Structure 1
Amino acid sequence: MKPAFIPGLLVALASPTVAFAQDQGTATADPAAETAVGDEIIVTGRAQRLYRTETTTVGKSAEDPLNIPQALQVINSDLFADQGARDATDIYRNISGVSFFSYAGVTFRGFRQDQSYYDGQRGNPFIGFSVPQLFNIDRVEVLKGPAGLFFGPGSPGGIINYVSKTPSDKAALRTVVTAGNYDRIGISSEATGRIDGDGVLTYRVGGFYESMDPYRRNTQNKALIGDAGLTIRTNAGGALTLQATTYDNQLQANRLRGVLVDNAGNFLTSIRWNANEPSDFLHLTSTALQARYATAIGERVTFDAGVRYFKATERQKYHEPRGLSPTNPDLVLREFRDQIRPVDGLSFMANATAKATILGMEHKFQAGGDWYDETSILQSRILRAGVLPLSLSNPVYGQSDGDAVRAAALPYTVTDTRTKRYGFYLQDQLSLSEALMLVAGVRYDRFEDGVTTSTGGTVSARSRYRDGDVTFRGGAIFKPRRDVSLYASWSQSFEPQAAASQSTDAGGPFAPVTGNQIEAGAKSDLFGGRVQANAAVYRILRRNILQADPTLPPVNGQDQLRPIGEVTSKGVEFDLTTDLTPNWVLMVNYGYNDARITGTVPGQAITNAVGDRFANAPAHKVGFWTRYQLPVVDAAFAFGGEHVSRRISLSGQTVRPYTVFDASITKKLGFAEVMLRVDNLFDTVYAASGFSAQSGHFPGEPRTFLAELRTRF
């Protein structure tokens, strides 16, 4: 544990300024919880506020989800706590249309992507093969389909926006002590409150530490987070928030690949098998600094602006599996990789909204822009000769520790990638009547990419590419009643090719991937928000996707690419959050997707696809979570599950369908509570996703026990 991280944790543990406050995460109904409806005060139970979404900022301004003509979901901190969620992979089962692909990557409406945003800005501090942590996150906003109007070029499946916890003028202290199997132990604490008596200055400070030895052989994970924030009230409707967060993830015998399978998707050995030696590791250190100013100008104008900077370095030394030996099917061939990935990025954004009545019709105008500059460097050296294979049935570790020393004699191949993105948007939301709204928006984007590759200081390839485009978005919303909306929308997508694909050796540079989505759906917020149900149907079309052209010889070892692909993704999604009774809440989500290659040339292949189907794109995905509280015993019981249908891996191997269940009990103990949780209740052996024949499928976690003792004052 680094000393620089410790002060935040100690301050949070020892803060003398906190006063007692009820925790909304307790197992019993809170009699002090009140909702104002006109002049009526409604006292609601814990379940009636649970997981409820009333506003979202995924459209760059606070808005009722019913007034946004696209499918979206918001996962809040109540659900994090109830499900014991630690990182992003713990919440995917709650999101229709999203499933795990690899590391921080997901399959989103049929397409692989790993883009994420923080407080509406680019600058993900979890680079490479690290997964976003949730300790300092208040909620996760998911906007489905092309989101380019507000977020710029990106994948058409949608975006995931992590909204940070911020200072509060309410004095509170929350501490969580964690224990579980696989030698899991941890502690976290966070405090908020006023610095001065008038609340002009407020703060948040927190620290998180957790260690465990996961089920894969040789592995040990240690995660450390330090987080601090200061909010300055600048005027009656405005505030400046400054935040700093540091991360230190030490993962032994990582980065993890999968476990080899046969073509039917059956593991060839125990899911505990690991190609990594005990001396292998992945180590991420990262720092994110952020400032954001938001203000209201009168009652009809708002403005916000933000700047975000992050700097991260991921160091990896690991053994990469290279498939079965042709002479002995019990041996897995390996190579050793020594990689350093320093990345830094700087982003700016500004947004303004203004409401105006013109010719008797209400307009909500939004305008804004963003700019992002990132430098990403990969220093890599790969040792292939003399690396010992590893047995599947009886692996013997410790005989390859010298590989790191031999690799150190090799020169680094350095790939220096520079990317720049900037754009401007304008949208008008026009209320023709109380029941009918029209939305229209336009955005201009510009990007610049540059890649330089060198080995031992000698440049082997250099490419530069820049381009721009205009995209549009339109939609209509009909509200037959205040708590129900029917919508239809059309939106365009604009996605630059990967910077590495722009190399002249690969045939680049290439024009961006373009496309559009047509979506229609219904949203409801019935019975005072106690029934929130959403349904959507969509069709996404992508063109200009790069394909490897087997009719052309490789250049300097790189396959020749050609932008002649077309893909169509069609699907249906349904989400429901409801209070079955005042003490019983239920969440259900379902997604159907059919993503296929609809335009190509015989003999060619699109990345992440086999035949006309996409890898790790399930046709069906179901998730549910239900929680019932018993006030008479101050306890709550929860049960959840997930089903993902059959998929294929990048190599065309079957990824078998799976169904897993979880359960938990939460018991109130005065000002504290204890949660006992079991994941994968029936200890099902399954593949969370497929990868390649050389490195196997990613196994899902076996049965895992977690206990948390939570105190809040």
Structure 2
Amino acid sequence: MLSAAATPAQLSAQAASGEAGLERSERAAEEQQADNIIVTGRAQKLYRVETTASTKLPTEPLLSSQNVSVITSELIQDQGARDAQDIYRNISGVSFFSYAGVTARGFRQEEIFFDGLRGDPYAGFSVPQLFNLDRVEFLKGPSGMLYGPGAPGGLFNYVTKKPQDKPFSADVRGIVGNADRIGGSAEVNSSLGGGFAARGGLFYEDRGLFRFNAASRTLIADGGVSWSPGPVTVILQATRYDQELDASRLRGVPTDDDGNFLADRRWNHNEPGDFLNLRSDVLQARIEAEPLPGLTLDATMRYNDATEVQNYHEPRGLFDSDGDGIRDATIREFRDQRRDEESWSFGGNAVYAFDLGGDVGNRVLAGFDHFNGEEIFAGRSLRGRNRVVAGLPSPLSLLDPVYGQSDPATYNQGPFSIFNTDSRRTGFYLLNELTVGPVIITGGIRQDNFHDDSDGIVFEDEATTYRGGIVYRVTDEISLFGHYATSFEPQDPSVQNPLAGGPFAPTAGDIFEGGIKTALMGGRIQSSLSAYQIRRRNILQVDPRGDVGNDGVDDFVAFGEVTSKGIEFDLAADITPDWVLTVAYAHNDTKITGDNGGGGILNRVGDRFANAPKHQLGIWTRYQIPDIGIAAAFGGDYVSEQVSLSGQPVRPFMIFDTSLIYEVGPIRAMLRVDNLFDKTYAVSGFIDRTGHFPGEPRSIFLEVGYAF
């Protein structure tokens, strides 16, 4: 993957409007080559968006007091990205933690929204694919006022592709690569007349993964229709996700206390017959309307039904198998698990914009959302020993793994343990934006009610969150911004037991952030520089006094504070009409600023936090020769040292990627090399018995497409 540091919204945005914007559009049209589809000024025209959806009050990024990173479909295509892990490095302040989870500004963050609503079809251990996405937006910092419960580091909002009322268009692509990689996709969109439009897409890819026994097969079938009778638009969508992952769920590779792998990076703790299979169906309906000038309405309903089944061998502890003093094998546990998830989401917004006279304008946002989700988890497990025993999972060597010494069909695992969790979230919010000349002042409030039921342990509570911001438009191309926002997260229902000291109030977070955004030289140079402080308080920890009530259950206390401070800089520049450069840098320092002296803060490792690098740097550059339809791109990604959950170091790494692109007329071909110098590295760490997650070795693929 190319290490783009660009995030068009974050790097910022729309330059001057009106006549200046029209002149730039005309100039861009003149620059575009008549005999091919290579586009000049990519950073200015393709890597940014006019407005961001994640703020719920559509706003030009240059005029927003919030920091939003946007990865557009054009940027995704330019980088050949396939899944969410391919784009994390595009966002300053975001790094890989595990599976679809990330570290965002020092805090672990896992929840994903689709089209502004809860309801992740990937069920937690499968990584989201990018095929049916128009863009990915990451709203940085606490976002409780807009989205309710969530981690304070930020929030992902995946915006799906929707039917467009435009003339017929189609795109077909095929891909081949090393490790038996093969696949293809097809998309079609067309106006049907009478205000109707339809879109359909199909994606399939079969590839071997670099870990022993591992492979993946992914199928996405996606379709939708829209109808626009006058000022109203109705959109209906349906998507099927089907993913089969062989020899998964993948953990890491064990390491020593210096961060060196104890086995080949291809080592896998799973047997060839292990698997993680996901089937997820999504139905979504949306209505947009403008009944009166200045008044826009929207409402979206989303239904998700997902089933994830896993059979895998979990590493349970390293041991010395031959008495030489070196831990060279691991005991394994076999796990048989099934998760059935069903959820409903609904949300609506009303935006009213009006003038107050002179250069004073006002916009009001009122909205609400509701989520109801139920998960049924069924699981059983059987732990083996440090020697081969019939009917038990066998141990596995790190240096010379031999698979197939035990058969899960012979395991006597006993009955399934079944757990039911029901969660409900409801929120109402109001936001006002006042513009007085070059100054934009924003303030909002939200009230949330939530209900959690975990196998009969019920907890209900409410929370109020706020946000305030200010933007000063220095010129049409430069703005200064600052904001304050709050967030909250309910405690896990499993710890709300009164015998353990519960119920406990949610954790609380807030942010102070300020900076400068630019879109200089008519948008050719886009940049963002910001500094922030995030506090997370009321963190649940083990009570150092133990079982205070002598009721047989150790107590918890909600006491603690973590403070995250950082600086982020992003740049996207059209150096020439044919040469684009993007750079992203993030510095973060997350520390414990209050605890009970007994530890217990999640992800804490001494005074540091797991998988929270202090420094990140991403670069990406592309140079094209329009006369012959050739472009070359090169990128690099640096992440400084991290620590795992067990305190083992995760060594810093710098990897490079490159691609060669041929784009003439309707034909587009891309030859890509990821991890160009085949560096062995770990992207993050977990616990010592499961090791660090290894980065992918050098890989090569060729993608050829034809656009109708």
TM-score (norm 2): 0.91
Structural RMSD (CA) = 1.8
Contact 1:337–1:380, Cα closer than 8 Å, also in 2: yes
Aligned to 1:188, what secondary structure does the other structure show?
strand
- In 2, the alpha carbon distance for the partners of 1:312 and 1:276 equals 24
CA displacement 1:329-370 (0-9 Å, x = unmatched): 111111000000111110110001111234753111111000
CA displacement 1:439-469 (0-9 Å, x = unmatched): 11111111111101xxxxxxxxx31101111
Between 342-351 and 525-534, the greater mean CA deviation after superposition = 525-534
Offset of residue 505 of structure 1: 6.3
Offset of residue 525 of structure 1: 1.7
Offset of residue 551 of structure 1: 4.3
**84, 99, 120: which one pairs with 1:88?**
84
Q: Are residues 1:446 and 2:449 paired? A: yes
**385, 391, 395: which one pairs with 2:397?**
391
Q: Are residues 1:650 and 2:645 paired? A: yes
Contact 2:320–2:328, Cα closer than 8 Å, also in 1: no
**176, 180, 184: which one pairs with 1:183?**
180
C-alpha distance 404-156 of structure 1, shift in aligned 2 (>3 A) = farther
Q: Are residues 1:513 and 2:513 paired? A: no
Equivalent residue, structure 2, for 1:123: 119
C-alpha distance 557-182 of structure 1, shift in aligned 2 (>3 A) = farther
Equivalent residue, structure 1, for 2:313: 319
Equivalent residue, structure 1, for 2:331: 333
Offset of residue 322 of structure 1: 1.2
**Matched letter for residue 374 of structure 2:** T
- In 2, the alpha carbon distance for the partners of 1:262 and 1:558 equals 35
Aligned to 1:692, what secondary structure does the other structure show?
coil
- In 2, the alpha carbon distance for the partners of 1:631 and 1:419 equals 54
**Matched letter for residue 66 of structure 1:** L
- In 2, the alpha carbon distance for the partners of 1:147 and 1:346 equals 21
Equivalent residue, structure 1, for 2:269: 275
Q: Are residues 1:476 and 2:470 paired? A: yes
Contact 2:277–2:310, Cα closer than 8 Å, also in 1: yes
C-alpha distance 277-635 of structure 1, shift in aligned 2 (>3 A) = same
Equivalent residue, structure 2, for 1:634: 629
Between 703-712 and 491-500, the greater mean CA deviation after superposition = 491-500
Q: Are residues 1:580 and 2:607 paired? A: no
C-alpha distance 558-578 of structure 1, shift in aligned 2 (>3 A) = farther
1:341-356 equivalence runs, <5 A: 341-356=339-354
Aligned to 2:229, what secondary structure does the other structure show?
strand
Equivalent residue, structure 2, for 1:458: none
Offset of residue 383 of structure 1: 0.5
Offset of residue 483 of structure 1: 2.1
Equivalent residue, structure 1, for 2:295: 301
Equivalent residue, structure 2, for 1:210: 205
- In 2, the alpha carbon distance for the partners of 1:39 and 1:661 equals 38
1:452-601 equivalence runs, <5 A: 452=455, 462-504=456-498, 507-549=501-543, 551-552=545-546, 560-601=555-596
Equivalent residue, structure 2, for 1:406: 411
Equivalent residue, structure 2, for 1:37: 21
C-alpha distance 322-581 of structure 1, shift in aligned 2 (>3 A) = same
CA displacement 1:34-69 (0-9 Å, x = unmatched): x98347722244131231232211111321011211
**586, 604, 614: which one pairs with 1:609?**
604
Aligned to 2:400, what secondary structure does the other structure show?
coil
- In 2, the alpha carbon distance for the partners of 1:673 and 1:551 equals 66
Equivalent residue, structure 2, for 1:15: none
Contact 1:598–1:612, Cα closer than 8 Å, also in 2: no
**Matched letter for residue 282 of structure 2:** A
- In 1, the alpha carbon distance for the partners of 2:649 and 2:543 equals 25
Offset of residue 387 of structure 1: 2.1
Between 82-91 and 600-609, the greater mean CA deviation after superposition = 600-609
C-alpha distance 491-338 of structure 1, shift in aligned 2 (>3 A) = same
Offset of residue 503 of structure 1: 4.2
CA displacement 1:635-680 (0-9 Å, x = unmatched): 1100011000001000000010000000000012542121000000
**Matched letter for residue 424 of structure 1:** F
Unaligned runs of 5+ in 1: 1-34, 453-461
Between 103-112 and 592-601, the greater mean CA deviation after superposition = 592-601
**Matched letter for residue 122 of structure 2:** F
C-alpha distance 224-351 of structure 1, shift in aligned 2 (>3 A) = same
CA displacement 1:288-320 (0-9 Å, x = unmatched): 110011122333111100100101010000000
C-alpha distance 340-482 of structure 1, shift in aligned 2 (>3 A) = same
- In 2, the alpha carbon distance for the partners of 1:596 and 1:331 equals 36
Offset of residue 623 of structure 1: 0.8
- In 2, the alpha carbon distance for the partners of 1:563 and 1:404 equals 45
Contact 1:71–1:521, Cα closer than 8 Å, also in 2: no
Equivalent residue, structure 1, for 2:130: 134
- In 2, the alpha carbon distance for the partners of 1:548 and 1:84 equals 46
CA displacement 1:70-118 (0-9 Å, x = unmatched): 2111100111111111110000111000000000000000000101110
- In 2, the alpha carbon distance for the partners of 1:230 and 1:528 equals 37
Between 689-698 and 169-178, the greater mean CA deviation after superposition = 169-178
Contact 2:619–2:635, Cα closer than 8 Å, also in 1: yes
Equivalent residue, structure 2, for 1:692: 687
Contact 1:605–1:611, Cα closer than 8 Å, also in 2: no
